[in-house]
Amino acid sequence: MTGDVDARGVRLQFRLRGDQKVIVLSEARLEQLRRIRHTIWNEPFARRTWSELLFFVLSVLLAAAGMAFIALTMFAGIALAVTFIGLVIIAGSLRGARGIGGFHRALARNLLDEHIQEPEPFVARPGFFGWLQSALRDPIGWRSVAYSLLKMPLAVFGVWFALSVWVDAFFCLTYPLWGDGALRPPEYGFVVNAFSPGYLSAGTSGFFHSVFIFVTGVILVFLAPWPMRAVVYVDRRLMRLLLAPDAMTARVRSLEHARAQTLDTSAATLRRIERDLHDGTQAQLVAVAMRLGQVKEKLAAERDRLDLDQVRQLVDDAHKGAKEAIVELRDLARGIHPPALDIGLEGALSTLAARSTVPTDVTVALTDRPTPAIESIAYFCVAELMANIVQHAHASRASISCAQQGQWLRLVVRDDGQGGAHPALVGSASSGLSGLTDRVHAVDGRLHITSPPGGPTVVTVDLPLHA
Amino acid sequence: MTDSIRVAIAEDSGVLRDGLVQLLTDRGFEITAAVSESEGLRASVQGDCPDVAVIDIRMPPTFTDEGLRAAIDLRRRHPGLGILLFSQYVETRYAADLLADDAAGIGYLLKDRVADTSDFVEALVRVASGGTALDPEVVTQLLGASRRTDSISRLSAREREVLSLMAEGRSNAAIATTLVVSEGAVEKHVANIFTKLDLPVSQSDHRRVLAVLRFLDS
């Protein structure tokens, strides 16, 4: 007969053998136990264990040296704070603390494989006073000081709680080599004391006593990795909290990145406009002026030597050139700011759809009007996507939908073409899809493309309504 | 008068290239090549040996100073070839690069100058026959940027006009026509300028240009 009994939340199987219940462990449970046993047996020999021990010892030494430096300079600085020199010393102390933080990060990286993000390098304003101000306000410096301060109690606790076990283990294991009845391992740290005071002094001297202490040492070696792991775990959290750039700094960094991209994009846009003007309209107008110049000179010639047909041809060319220049200028102006946007996104998108050679449906459902910048980004996204559809997708239909979701505007551009669109494949870095991605990111928006080979391609753009 | 001058054109804008070909053919020049980038120009100069090359500074693929580099290169390989650089903007540095060792057979004009066809053709003829043609805009910039303001301020207004025209590469006769004075008067002004600026007197027009430009640029 068999059945189940729930023991401490773990369902155990049992079988009745006569009157006795014999518990049969499930295969999964057995596997779990096997793994735990394996871990306990192997942990003293694991690389991680020894790295953590080495990290703890080195980082405590480093923290002690660092704290000595910080304490000394800070006290000196505060004592002299009424004079100018005090501020300089505090600033120096903060710069030093930043460096110490860097050492801690390097230690964690090399020994714990804990990759804590480097904060941005210290940037001083120009001049000595600029340096002083920057150093005193450096949040990384102050956070490093905070880490050093908090590391102190952690180090003291770690020495008592974790390092002591290793020390005890070392003395107990080596006891047979040096020990005799008179000399005993130091009873220090929490584990040995936890057994009972005077535990290691118990018993008599002699062979069995040595064996007793050695066995204790072996037990301690298997125990020792775990308190150390706990202490190092706390230290890891502390480092991630205080030695990595904080959320605000990370945000500032991402904004700086976005700003740089925006500046690059607008510089690239200006360059493109300049080139279009230079190669198109300006060249066109120079040609027109050149022809008119020729006409002027020909008309100034003697009446009987005047070749009217040639003059007519020149005027014709000039006229045609002037009209072409007007068209180019209009296209260029529309590329800078589409006039249709002035009446709103719906009208502008309808115009875009109407101009496309691929039949396109437009649905716009907005209750609030987005800010002009967002409207412009949305418009150019759709314009670029529609251009891609016409050029690359081989689509027979497309649709544009623009809907409001709370404070977000969701644009979906869909086509039934061949698919396979990718930001890296379509367009160049300054224009095209990747340029769009930059523009969308600059306002904290998102651009998502699904375009499996064979299609359909769906591009979703989320933009905040107000930026 | 100009039937024998053979011209190669490198200009990436189609309308302008066609316009130039039409204008120059009409004026009796022989067009050996009309290309849109510098590689084609190099090949055609090698093959056709034109007298002068009209080169747009900004051409593909870099759209920076492609034409200028081609010009400097062509100059080195074909010392007799006249070069007329043609640009939408005036960059004094480009002029300095081009005129680094010799001003003979060098021109640097704004594209706008083709609107005054006669002046343009005249400049092209001058460059083809070993003279110099610098855009008035280039000269103005050089005069404006020059640190020799005290020396220049010693010149009379008329002398300054003559200096500018001289720097553009014009001969005494041409200067006389422009300013509506006698050639003798121009010669007197030129002599005064050279004395006041303490420049060595040179006979040929293009050496004169170089002397003046060196003075302004130093």
Q: Give B160-193 pLDDT, tens digit per residue.
A: 889 888 888 888 888 999 899 999 999 999 888 8
Same domain for A53 and A26: no
Asked, for residue A248, whether it belongs to a domain, the answer is no
Give me the residue from A283, A294, A310 closest to B15, CB to CB.
Answer: A283
Residue range B204-216: average pLDDT? 76
State the pLDDT at residue A430: 38
Q: How many Å apart are CA A75 and CA A53, to the nearest integer?
A: 32
Residue range A19-45: average pLDDT? 81
Considering only alpha carbons, which residue of chain B is nearest residue A293? B115
Q: Which of A12-26, A254-268, B75-89, B199-213 has the lowest mean pLDDT?
A: A12-26
Cβ–Cβ below 8 Å for A290 and B23: yes
What is the pLDDT confidence band of residue A425, given thresholds at 50, 70 and 90? low
Q: Measured between beta carbons, which residues in chain A are less than 8 angstroms from residue B21?
A: none
Tokens coding A257 = 């990145």
**Between residues A58 and B212, which one has the greater pLDDT?**
A58
Contacts of residue B55, defined as CB under 8 A and 6 or more positions apart, other chains included, come to: B10, B11, B38, B41, B67, B68, B70, B71, B83, B84, B85, B86
Domains of chain B, earliest start first: 6-135 (3.40.50.2300), 146-217 (1.10.10.10)
Cβ–Cβ below 8 Å for A294 and B23: yes
Which of A301, A336, A371 is the C-terminal boundary of a domain? A336
Is A283 at the interface with chain B, CB within 8 A?
Answer: yes
What is the pLDDT confidence band of residue A4, given thresholds at 50, 70 and 90? low
Per residue in A297-346, pLDDT tens?
889 887 778 888 989 999 999 999 999 999 989 888 888 888 888 888 88
Cβ–Cβ below 8 Å for B117 and A283: no
Q: B117 with A297: CB under 8 angstroms?
A: yes
Which of A311, A336, A361 is the C-terminal boundary of a domain? A336
Cβ–Cβ below 8 Å for A293 and B63: no
Same domain for A220 and A85: yes
State the pLDDT at residue B80: 86
Which of A206, A240, A274 is the C-terminal boundary of a domain? A240
**CA distance to partner chain A, nearest, from residue B188 (Å):** 34
Same domain for A378 and A331: no
Mutate to test the interface with A, among B12, B16, B122 (most CBs of A within 10 A): B16
Same domain for A167 and A131: yes
State the pLDDT at residue B137: 86
Same domain for A264 and A209: no
Contacts of residue A333, defined as CB under 8 A and 6 or more positions apart, other chains included, come to: none
State the pLDDT at residue A5: 52
Domain count, chain A: 4
What is the pLDDT confidence band of residue A183, given thresholds at 50, 70 and 90? low
State the pLDDT at residue A9: 45
Q: Which of A153-157, A253-257, B127-131 has the lowest mean pLDDT?
A: A253-257
DSSP string covering A236-299: HHHHHHHTSPPHHHHHHHHHHHHHHHHHHHHHHHHHHHHHHIIIIIIHHHHHHHHHHHHHHHHH
Considering only alpha carbons, which residue of chain A is nearest residue B63? A275
How many C-beta neighbours within 10 Å does residue A66 have? 24
What number of C-beta contacts closer than 8 Å exist between A and B? 48
What is the pLDDT confidence band of residue A426, given thresholds at 50, 70 and 90? very low
Same domain for A434 and A287: no
Same domain for A351 and A305: no
Cβ–Cβ below 8 Å for B23 and A292: no
Contacts of residue A254, defined as CB under 8 A and 6 or more positions apart, other chains included, come to: none
Q: Is the pLDDT of residue A11 over 60?
A: no
Residue range A69-91: average pLDDT? 89
Cβ–Cβ below 8 Å for A287 and B18: yes
Interface of B with A (CB under 8 A): 12-13, 15-16, 18-20, 23, 26, 58, 63, 88, 111-112, 114-118
In order of A6, A354, A379, A391, B161, the CA distances from A417 in angstroms are 59, 19, 21, 11, 67
Q: Is the pLDDT of residue B7 over 90?
A: yes
Q: Is the pLDDT of residue A432 over 80?
A: no
Mean pLDDT of chain A: 84
Rounded to 10°, the helix A225-242/A164-178 angle is 150
Same domain for A143 and A131: yes
Q: Measured between beta carbons, which residues in chain B are less than 8 angstroms from residue A297?
A: 117-118
Residue range B69-90: average pLDDT? 88
State the pLDDT at residue A253: 80
Same domain for A457 and A386: yes
Same domain for A301 and A206: no
Residue range A263-287: average pLDDT? 87
Q: Is the pLDDT of residue B1 over 50?
A: no
State the pLDDT at residue A104: 94
Considering only alpha carbons, which residue of chain A is nearest residue B114? A290
Per residue in A125-158, pLDDT tens?
888 989 998 899 888 899 999 999 999 999 999 9
Q: A172 with A220: CB under 8 angstroms?
A: yes
Mean pLDDT of chain B: 86
Per residue in A218-246, pLDDT tens?
888 998 899 999 999 999 999 998 998 87
**CA distance to partner chain B, nearest, from residue A300 (Å):** 12
Asked, for residue A249, whether it belongs to a domain, the answer is no
State the pLDDT at residue B123: 92
Same domain for A203 and A71: yes
Q: Is the pLDDT of residue A195 over 80?
A: no
Q: Is the pLDDT of residue A15 over 70?
A: no
Considering only alpha carbons, which residue of chain B is nearest residue A276? B13
What is the pLDDT confidence band of residue A427, given thresholds at 50, 70 and 90? very low
Cβ–Cβ below 8 Å for B26 and A279: no
Considering only alpha carbons, which residue of chain B is nearest residue A310? B26
State the pLDDT at residue A68: 93
Considering only alpha carbons, which residue of chain A is nearest residue B62? A275
**CA distance to partner chain B, nearest, from residue A326 (Å):** 15
What is the pLDDT confidence band of residue A428, given thresholds at 50, 70 and 90? very low
What is the extent of the structural domain holding A299? 257-336
State the pLDDT at residue A362: 92
Residue A404 sits at the vertex; the CA angle it makes with A398 and A408, to the nearest 5 degrees, is 110
Cβ–Cβ below 8 Å for B117 and A284: no
Give me the residue from A278, A310, A321 closest to B15, CB to CB.
Answer: A321
Same domain for A138 and A78: yes
Asked, for residue A246, whether it belongs to a domain, the answer is no
Q: A314 with A295: CB under 8 angstroms?
A: yes
**Between residues A135 and A20, which one has the greater pLDDT?**
A135
Per residue in A340-362, pLDDT tens?
888 888 888 998 888 888 899 99
Tokens coding A281 = 């309209």
CATH number for position A374: 3.30.565.10
